Structure formats: C-alpha cells, structure tokens
Chain A
Amino acid sequence: MSRWMIRRIAEAVATTVVALLLLIVLLHLLPGDPLSALLGDRGADPAVRADLERCWSSHRNTWQSVTTYFGCLARGDLSYSLSKQEPVLQLIRERLGPTLLLGGLTLLIDFTIGLALGVWSALHPDTWRARLISATTIVGYTLPSFVVGMLLVWIFAIKLPWLPTGQLSEVTLPVDSGAWAVFADHIKHLILPLTAMVIATIAVPLRQQRTAAMTTAAAPWVLAARARGVRPFAVAWRHCWRPALTPIVTLLGLWVPMLVAGAVFVESVFSWPGMGSLLADATFARDVPVVVAAGFVVIVVVQIGSLLADALYHIVDPAQRST
C-alpha cells in the first residue's frame, strides 16, 4: 500500500469523525426530550430509563453527549431504538441489506446503461433518438424522486395492477414456496423502486459521459485510429469511451451520497425496509439513537465509496499511476 493510500484512508477516518460529531451536535440542539414524550406521564423505572439513556440523553450537555456517544461506539454499543423497541444494531443489520441491494443495482444501471447511452448520444449527436434520451432523462432528473415513485405506483400498481405497491416481498406468499417463486417475488417488488431510483439519478452520469465522449470523439487520436482502419466499434470503445472515463470515476465517488439521499425518499414511498426509510421513520419519531447510528452508517458507506473511486482513478488514468 502506497503512502498516498495511507494518507487517503486517514483523511476518510477524520472526515467520518467530524461528520459524526456534527450530527451529534445538531441532534443535541433539538429541543424536547423524546424519551419522556415516549414514556408519557407514567414515567419509568429509573433503572430502565438509565439503561435507555446510556448512549443518548437530552439531559446531558453537548460535550457529554459527544463523549458518551463516542464511548458507546468504541464499545460497539449502538443503544436501543425508542420507537421500534429493538436494539439499534439489530435494526441496522436488517435494513442495510435491502438498501445495498437497491442502491447497488441503481449504481450498476446508472453506470452501465447510463454510460452506454451517454457514449451513444455522443457518437450520434443531432439525431432524434439522442434528443429523446436527453429530454426524457432530464425530465426524470428534474422531478423529485418521491414524485417519480408515486407516479410509478399510481400507473403500474394501481391503474394497471401489474406490480406490488411496495415492501420487500409478499406477506401472503406461502411459506413453502420454492426458491424460484421467492426470487421472482423479490424481483417483482424490486422493479418499481429500482425504476424510480434510476429515473431520478441516471441523467447525471449519462450527460457527464456524453460530454466527455464528445470531447474524446473529436480528439486527433480518434481520427488516427480510423485512419489505421480500426473497426468502428473498437474506435468507440477503446478510443472514445476509455479516455472519457476519468471524469466518470470522479462522479462515481460523488454518487454514493446521491444514492443515499435518493434512497431516503424512494424507500419511504415504497415502504422498502432499508436504511433510507429507517432514517426517515426514525427522524419523524424523534428516535435519536437510530438517527445517529443510521447517520453513522451512511457516513461510513459514503467514505468507502469515495475511497474506492480515488483508488479507481489510479487504474483508469495511467498518467496518475506513474506519479
């Protein structure tokens, strides 16, 4: 591992700590005591109350809040959800998988179909198909993701009852269904949220790639390759697309936060049991331990994403590698 990599990892750790610190301070500034609100007039056994407040309490000052929470984190203790009556760690374990599935597939589609359409549009500018692609994707990007989600539900789940309106799987699915039936059921539930996520996000990589590929398509080395008799497909692939990849890797690093933000809305619309809807629900319920813990997970995932993107840079750009 190079010195560069070590420095970059140290940066990521520092960013994570600072972001978490900010999150705790902000949550601390919120007025009111969610635990008292939850317990109501009856109050609670002081022992139970102390246990629930071991990592987070509205009665501590800012400094104490920060130190107790970091102390809990160091012990691997994420405390207890106030609204779901479950250990936070347990909740996150359940919710992380569906979000990574939805987010990962969105990322995959954005950066395969999106990039391919971008390159295609760059090589065929001024055609009606390229204009159509550009227009539809920009409309999708402009609409808020939850509006896209609700429109999709309205059309494909209500007007045309083809697909389920939400959830991860069908509750009524017989327990003894075969693996194939379970898989098919999951896919059916995945289609609409995934489509909403892709519609809301694909415009950016597509346009970025189109611009980059238009630049490289006009590059002298493309003309030189054509003059060598290289096949059109190889010209597009090796000489237009490959050199246009550098800005895309930068974008990839910025993409994970975009997906997280999108997931909060889309998961809520589709009752998708992921981190996004967990975060949204917890925020409405003033469930501070969950909000902090979910926030922490999001921060870590985002940092890993940008770390990977920076590492990819070195693979994609040979000039970076030798320095």
Chain B
Amino acid sequence: MTPLLEVANLNIFFPQASGESTVPVDDVSFTVAAGELVALVGESGCGKTLTGLALPRLLPRGAEMGARTVIRFRGTDLTSLSESELRTYRGRRIAMVFQDPMTSLNPVMRVGAQIAEAIHAHRKVSKRDARERVLALLTEVGIADPTSRIDAYPHQLSGGMRQRILIAMALAAEPDLLVADEPTTALDVTIQAQILELLDHLRATRKLAVLLITHDLGIVAGRADRVLVMYAGRIVESAKTARLFSHPAHPYTRGLFASIPRLDADTTRLTPIGGSVPRPADWPTGCRFHPRCGAAIAHCTTHRPPLEAAGPDQLAACWVTQGMTK
C-alpha cells in the first residue's frame, strides 16, 4: 500500500548573500500512512516546524528546498506544483493547526467567517450552507453554544476555545492529513488535555492522519503510532511508539528520556543532556550529536551515520548502536 504522504530527502536551506547557506532541515525522509498518527519530536530549533511547513509548501520567504526533495501526497509530487495547484491541497488535503491560538486568528474577522473561508476556498457552497457547516464543525470540536460563538471575534474567546476554532478551521475542508505544530504548547495543562482528547476523538471519527509536531514526549506516549526523533535538522531515530519508549536506541533519545521525571522510578536527580542545541550555522561535522554524546567515538566526528535498523520497526542513525567500536 502506498503511504498517504511520502517525504524523501527533504532539504530546506536559506541561501545567504555570501554564497554559503544554512541548512536547517537536512535530508529528512519519512512517511505517514492514511489514518496514522506520527509524532515528530525534537527540541526548539531542530527543524521540526520547518519540516511541517514544507509539506503544504508554506516555507517562509527566503527558504528553498533542495532539488532532490520529494513530497509525494497520494502519488502527486507537491514540489512540482504551481501556487494555484498547491492551493487545492492546502486545507483540502493537508491542513495545519498552529501553536499560538492567540495570533493564528485574524483579530478583526468573526471566527465563523474565518472557518467559512476554508469551506469557500475549496467548494462552491451558498453562504447559508457554509454557515450550517460551520455550526456543525463548532459542535464537533466541542464549542458550547455554537450559535452565539459563530459571530464572536477572537478576543472574545478563551485560549482553549480559540484552539478549538483553529481545529474546526483545519477540518472545514475535510483534509486527509492534519499537521499539528505544538497544538497545546500555548495552553494551560487542563486545556491541553482537553485539546488532545479532541484530537484523538477526531482521529477516530474522521480517520484522519496526523503529523503531531511536539517537543513533549509526554503527549506522544499512548497516542502516536510512530515517533520520529529529530536533532539538528536530521531524523536520528524512528520507531513504533511502544518500542521507542521501551528501547530507545539513539543516545539522544535516551538522553531525552533521562531528562524526563518518571513516577515509576526512584530517581532523585534528572540527567540533562549536556550542552545545548547548536544553531544551523555551526552544526558539527559527522554525527551532529557527537559533541554532546557520552558514547561518541572518533568516527562519529567525521562520518555521518545513516539511519539503519536498530530493532524491530526501529531505525537509528548512530555508529555506536550500529556496532562500531573505536
């Protein structure tokens, strides 16, 4: 079966006037099957947000994609499409939910009208039918009293409600894939749980595929089918969720788990990963994690490790886990 989305050799770079360019996303490949929830996990600045934006080709001004990059959606390579052709995919096939519900809504437009925009952009419908659709969507995302909220302005709604509005907006044109970039980061913990529950519910009822971009392994557990771990612009590990949590293969993934507090262990101190994420301009050679890695050997400093099998349904890009010593 061909996957819903297939990303191969995704390269995103910002050409500089000096001729050199920074490459914040370097040779990223992954797939998302229909109805699957894939989590893309990494720290700030690892390139996960750019990866998400690249899918519907919404990269910021100045960013370019490499010539070998392929983004195949149901067999169509999106990198070869024109802007107007892409518009038929945006919202309709691939929808986005962004991190900040405060600023992702136009402050001078009624929320109902903003949701209706997504319907009108892809379908010829009358205003009244669109309004009916919007009311149904508001109900579906759990907004109480949709008839009074539909004509509200964003500032009249709470953060949680706005995030529900953003989700309704993303669902409006019935997409196959939802790219949710840190959808709960800006929310209170209790609201976070509600929004995640809503996403789970929608996934189940709509058979929606989701690419969940997050820095929070806690929301990945028990929710994602597969996890992609990104570090410094590259995918360093990819595994089924249960496998990743029980047997993390890459030293970076293991470091991430060691830095999370656990209830089932008598750890008194957490072990953070030493150092900090380097910026794209000064990414190390070889394995990019080697300066922060306790297991690094000389080979790691010069040679880039390929993603190779590290267990059942598990890939890791690490020379040491692949059996190399000294």
The answer to whether the Cβ of A93 comes within 8 Å of any Cβ in the partner chain is no
Structural contact, A229 and B118, CB atoms closer than 8 A: yes
Q: Are B105 and A224 in contact, with the CB atoms below 8 A?
A: yes
List of B residues within 8 angstroms of A220 by Cβ: 98, 100, 103-104
Residue picked from A225, A227, A231, most chain B C-beta under 10 Å: A227
B-binding segment of A101-109, A235-243, A253-261: A235-243
Q: Are A243 and B108 in contact (CB under 8 A)?
A: yes
Asked whether, in the complex, the Cβ of A230 is within 8 Å of the Cβ of B103, the reply is: no
B109 on the interface (CB 8 Å rule)? yes
Judged by a CB distance under 8 angstroms, whether A51 is at the interface is: no
A-B interface, 7 closest residue pairs, ranked by CB to CB distance from nearest: A229-B91, A228-B91, A229-B90, A227-B96, A228-B118, A229-B121, A318-B153
Residue contact A221 to B104, C-beta cutoff 8 Å: yes
Number of A interface residues at 8 Å Cβ cutoff, please give it: 24
- Which A residues touch B83, using CB under 8 A? 232
Quick one: which of B276-296 are within 8 Å of A by CB?
Answer: none
List, in ascending order, chain B residues with CB within 8 A of A317's CB. Answer: 108
The contact of A230 among B56, B96, B105, B117, by CB within 8 Å, is: B117
- A223, A229, A319 pick with most chain B CB within 10 angstroms: A229
A227-279 residues with Cβ-Cβ distance < 8 A to B are 227-232, 234, 238-239, 242-243, 245
Of B88, B153, B156, the contact of A229 (CB 8 Å cutoff):
B88
One of B90, B100, B153, B166 near A226 (C-beta < 8 A): B90
B103 touches A227 (CB 8 A): no
User: What residue of chain B has the Cβ atom nearest to residue A224's Cβ?
Assistant: B104
CA distance A231 to B95 in the complex (A): 15
Task: List, sorted by A's number, 24 A–B pairs whose CB atoms are closer than 8 Å.
Answer: A219-B103, A220-B98, A220-B104, A221-B103, A221-B105, A223-B98, A225-B106, A226-B58, A226-B90, A227-B56, A227-B90, A227-B98, A228-B91, A228-B118, A228-B170, A229-B88, A229-B122, A234-B117, A238-B106, A238-B109, A239-B109, A242-B106, A242-B108, A318-B107
Question: Is A316 part of the binding interface, using a Cβ–Cβ cutoff of 8 Å?
Answer: yes
Q: Is the CB of A221 within 8 A of B106?
A: yes
Q: Interface SS of chain A: helix, strand, loop or mixed?
A: helix
Docked-complex contact A228 and B95, CB < 8 angstroms: yes
Bound-state CA distance A231–B114 (Å) is 13
Pair A316/B108 contact, Cβ less than 8 Å = yes
Q: Which residues of chain B from 144 to 191 have a CB within 8 Å of any chain A CB?
A: 153, 155-156, 166, 169-170, 172-173
Chain B contributes a number of interface residues (CB within 8 A of A) equal to 33
For the residues of B in contact with A, the DSSP-based class is loop
CB of B92 within 8 A of chain A? yes
> Would you give the shortest CB distance from A105 to chain B, in whole angstroms?
28
- Separation of A239 and B122 alpha carbons in the complex (Å): 18
Given A224-B96, A224-B166, A224-B169, decide whether A230 and B121 contact each other with a Cβ distance below 8 A: yes
B87 at interface by CB-CB < 8 Å: yes
- Tell me whether B117 and A225 are in contact (CB under 8 A): yes
What separation, in Å, do the CA atoms of A226 and B96 have in the docked complex?
10
Closest A residue, CB atoms, query B179: A227
**Is A322 among interface residues, defined by CB-CB distance under 8 A?**
yes
Q: Which parts of A187-237 form the interface with B (CB within 8 Å)?
A: 219-221, 223-232, 234
Which residues in chain A, 276-323, are within 8 Å of chain B measured between CB atoms? 316-319, 322
Residues of B within 8 A of A228 (CB): 90-91, 95, 117-118, 121, 169-170, 172-173
A322 pairs with B156, CB closer than 8 A = yes
Residues of chain B within 8 A of A232, CB atoms compared = 83
Which residues on A sit within 8 Å (CB–CB) of B117? 225, 228, 230, 234, 238
- Starting from the known contacts A230-B118, A242-B106, A319-B107, 17 additional A-B residue pairs (CB-CB under 8 Å) come to A219-B103, A220-B103, A221-B107, A226-B58, A226-B90, A227-B90, A227-B95, A228-B121, A229-B118, A230-B117, A230-B121, A231-B121, A234-B117, A238-B106, A318-B153, A322-B153, A322-B155
Question: In the complex, which residues of chain A have a beta carbon less than 8 angstroms from the beta carbon of B87?
Answer: 229, 231
Selected from A226, A227, A239, the residue in CB contact (under 8 A) with B106 is: A239
Closest residue of chain B to A318 (Cβ to Cβ) is: B153
**Chain B contacts of A316 at CB under 8 A?**
108
In the complex the two chains form, is B90's CB within 8 Å of A318's CB?
no
- B156: chain A residues within 8 A (beta carbon): 322
B265 to chain A, nearest CB (A): 39
Can you list, as one digit per residue, whether each of B63-104 has a CB less than 8 Å from chain A (1) or not (0)?
000000000000000000001000111111001101010011
In the complex, what residue of chain B is closest to A221 when comparing beta carbons?
B106
